A and B are shown apart, each in its own frame.
Chain A
Amino acid sequence: MSSTEQGTSSAAPAEPTTAPESAAAPEVPESFYYVHGKDKVVHKVSAGALQHSALIHGMISNLGYTEEQAKANPFPFENIDGDILQMVVDWCNQHKGKPTPPEDTNLPKQKEKLFDLVLAVNYLEIKELLTYCCKQVAMMVKGKSPEEIREIWMIPTDAEDEAAEKEAKKRAGKEAAGETAAAAGDAK
C-alpha cells in the first residue's frame, strides 16, 4: 500500500504514512521506495509492487539503496503528472504479487488521462498495465466513424498531411538557406 504527502524532492521528505499491510511473515521486513511526479507528491511504494515496473526494478537493483537513502532520494518523474503517477502506483499496489486479470475495468475513460497513462506506463515499462491501456485505447475507436477516430486519435487528413509536409520542406529550405548565408558571412 502507498501513502502520499506534499513535499519537494530536493528536501528530505517527511515520514509518509503507510496503510496497514495484511498480516505477513514478520521476519522478512518489506523494503520501500519513494517516487514523485510533477506535483512533487511523494508516494511510498513497496519493492514488491515496484517489481511491475521493469525500469524502477532495474534501478533499485543497481542502486542498492538503504531505507534511509531511499527515503531521502525519491525517484523523480518530473514529466509524469501527479494524478497519473498515483494511478500507476495504485495499480502496482493492487496487483502486487498477484497474477494480472485478463481485463482491467478501472482504467480512466477520459482520453487525455488514458493517453498520459499509456505514455507513463510505457516509460516505466509496466508490461501488463501497458497491455490493458492499449486495449482501452483501441476500444475508444470501436464502432466510430473515421471522422470520430480522427478526432479521438488526432489523425490528420491527407490534405493536412500534405500541407504539413510542404511546410516542413519550406522550413528546411529556409534553414538550409540561412546556414548557407551564415557560412558565407563567416567566410568573409
Chain B
Amino acid sequence: MFFPDSFLASFFPTFLTTDYKRMQIFKYPDLILIEILHNMNYSEIFLMSFISKNMKKLVKSYQISRFDRIESIRYECYPNGQPLVYIHYKSSSERILKIEECDEEINDKFQLNISGKMIDFRYSDQYQCPVACCQPDDKVYVIKSLHDHFLDFFGDSVEYHFEAKYGWKSDYFIIPQLQNISICSIWYYRYGDMKSVENFFAWSPVFKRVYLFHEPHHQTENSFGPKSKLWQTDSIKIDQRNPDAPNVLHCFKGRQAFLRYGSGATFEIVDFVNRWKSGDVSRLEYLQIESNLVVEFSYDPVLNHIGVKQIDPEKTPPTHSVPKIHIEKDNIPNTDPITSHTYVVRQSDGRVASILVQGKKFYFGVWDKTEEEFLEMVE
C-alpha cells in the first residue's frame, strides 16, 4: 500500500506558519519557554524580569512553581559597603544581585527601570550576577527600589530578611526602612548607631525575629528604651559583650529569647523570674541565657532566690522543647531540650516553668500546664 504525499503530510500539521528566522522568544511554545527558563539561575531570571513588563509577566507565569521553592530574600549590608541580595530555598542560597558604588570608567553599564526608577547596572563575572551601580548616598534608595520590585513579584509569599554588619567606620552604615521585613540581624560596634537602629525598629512592623550583636561602650547611653518596638519581637537573640547588666530581661515581651552576655546578670535573672511568677511576662515560652564571662561562674545561686520547687530526684521529669520561631542556619527546628527536676509556678494561673542551670547557662521553659498537669507527666 502506498500513500500519496498529501496523505502523509496530513499527519504533520504545519507548525511553522510564521517566519521563524525572526522568531521572538515570546512566540516559542510554552513547553520550550518553561524549559529555557528552567535552565537559568535566579539572578538571570530576575534580570529577565527587569527587561520589560511583558517579560516580567512571562517570568512570573512560567516560574510560579519554581518561585514556590523560595523561602526568603535576604539583604546583606556588610562593612565593605557593598550590599548583596540573596535568595534562600531548601537550605541553600543563591546570590542574585550586588550593589556597589559607581565607577565612572566602567563602560558596559546598562540601565534598568526598577519600580519606576532608572538604575545603572553591569554584569559581574566575578560575582556571577548583575551589579547595581550607584553613588554612596543612593544605596538605600537602590535597595528600596529592588525591595519594591521583589514585593511586587512575591508579595507576602516569602520572608524578607535584612542583615547588616557595621564596623567602627561610620561611612557604610546603611539601614534602609523596608516594608514587610520580618527578620533582621544587626551587628554593630560603635557609638552613634543606636539612634538609626532605634528608628529602624520604630518604623518597621513588629519583627518575627531579631538578632543583635553589639558592643556598646556604655549601656545607659546605648540600650534601647523600654518602649522600643524591639521588645515586641516574637523571637530575639542578643549577643552583647558589654559587661554591664542587660535590660532585655526587663523589657522583652515576646515569646522566645536567646541571650548571651558579658556579665552574669544574676540579679536581673532573679528579678525576671519573680516578675514571671507574679504574672508579668505572659507571652514568654522559652528563655536561654549564656554568660560570656571567662572566670569560673555558675547560675546555681540564682535558684536560692526564686522560690523553686523540686521533683522527686528518683523520678524522671518531662522534657520541655518548643519549635523555634525562626530556624537558623544550623537547621535545628526546636529549642534546646530542658529536662530538669527544678521548676517554678506562676501565681496568677498556676502555670509551670522548668528551670535548668548548667554552669554558665540558664534555661527557662514555660509549660502550658498547671502544676498538677505538669506533675502528671513525671515518670
- Does chain B have a CB within 8 A of A181? no
Contacts of A153 in B (CB 8 A): 24-25
Contact, CB under 8 Å: A145 / B110: yes
Segment at the interface with B among A21-29, A43-51, A68-76, A93-101: A68-76
- How many A residues face the partner with a CB closer than 8 A? 42
Q: What 0/1 pattern do residues 45 to 56 of B give for CB contact below 8 A with A?
A: 001101111110
Contact, CB under 8 Å: B12 / A76: yes
Instruction: Kindly provide the distance from the CB of A10 to the nearest chain B CB, expressed in whole angstroms.
Output: 5
Q: What 0/1 pattern do residues 108 to 142 of A give for CB contact below 8 A with B?
A: 00001001101100110000001100110111011
Instruction: Kindly provide the distance from the CB of A60 to the nearest chain B CB, expressed in whole angstroms.
Output: 11
B15, B39, B52: the one contacting A157 at CB < 8 Å is: B52
Instruction: Kindly provide the distance from the CB of B141 to the nearest chain A CB, expressed in whole angstroms.
Output: 21
Given contacts A143-B125, A145-B123, contact A122 B53 (CB under 8 A): no
Contact, CB under 8 Å: A118 / B48: no
Given contacts A75-B12, A123-B15, A155-B55, contact A135 B39 (CB under 8 A): yes
- Does chain A have a CB within 8 A of B377? no
Contact, CB under 8 Å: B31 / A9: no
Instruction: Name the residue among A59, A115, A139, A146 with the largest chain B CB count within 10 angstroms.
Output: A146
Segment at the interface with A among B1-9, B64-72, B87-95, B218-226: B1-9
- Does chain B have a CB within 8 A of A83? no
Instruction: Kindly provide the distance from the CB of B262 to the nearest chain A CB, expressed in whole angstroms.
Output: 48
- How many B residues face the partner with a CB closer than 8 A? 43
In the complex, A9→B94 CA distance in Å? 53
Contact, CB under 8 Å: A147 / B44: no
- Does chain A have a CB within 8 A of B16? yes
- Does chain B have a CB within 8 A of A154? yes
Q: Which of B238-290 contact A (CB under 8 A)?
A: none
Contact, CB under 8 Å: A149 / B48: yes
Contact, CB under 8 Å: B2 / A134: no
Contacts of A79 in B (CB 8 A): 14-16
Instruction: Name the residue among B14, B29, B55 with the largest chain A CB count within 10 angstroms.
Output: B55
Contact, CB under 8 Å: A138 / B5: no
Given contacts A10-B5, A75-B12, A134-B38, contact A141 B44 (CB under 8 A): yes
Instruction: Kindly provide the distance from the CB of A82 to the nearest chain B CB, expressed in whole angstroms.
Output: 14
- Does chain A have a CB within 8 A of B106? no
In the complex, A141→B16 CA distance in Å? 24
- Does chain B have a CB within 8 A of A104? no
In the complex, A79→B18 CA distance in Å? 11
Contact, CB under 8 Å: A76 / B8: yes
Contact, CB under 8 Å: B5 / A119: no
B2, B21, B54, B108: the one contacting A69 at CB < 8 Å is: B2
- Does chain B have a CB within 8 A of A158? yes
Contact, CB under 8 Å: A158 / B12: no
In the complex, A139→B39 CA distance in Å? 8
- Does chain A have a CB within 8 A of B32? yes
- Does chain B have a CB within 8 A of A150? yes
Given contacts A142-B44, A149-B48, contact A73 B28 (CB under 8 A): no
Contacts of B55 in A (CB 8 A): 155
- Does chain B have a CB within 8 A of A78? yes
Nearest 5 CB-CB pairings of A with B: A138-B39, A134-B35, A153-B25, A145-B110, A154-B24
Interface residues of A (CB under 8 A from B): 9-10, 59, 69, 72-73, 75-80, 112, 115-116, 118-119, 122-123, 130-131, 134-135, 137-139, 141-147, 149-150, 153-158, 161
CB<8 Å pairs between A and B, sample of 8: A77-B12, A118-B32, A119-B16, A119-B28, A130-B32, A144-B123, A146-B112, A156-B24
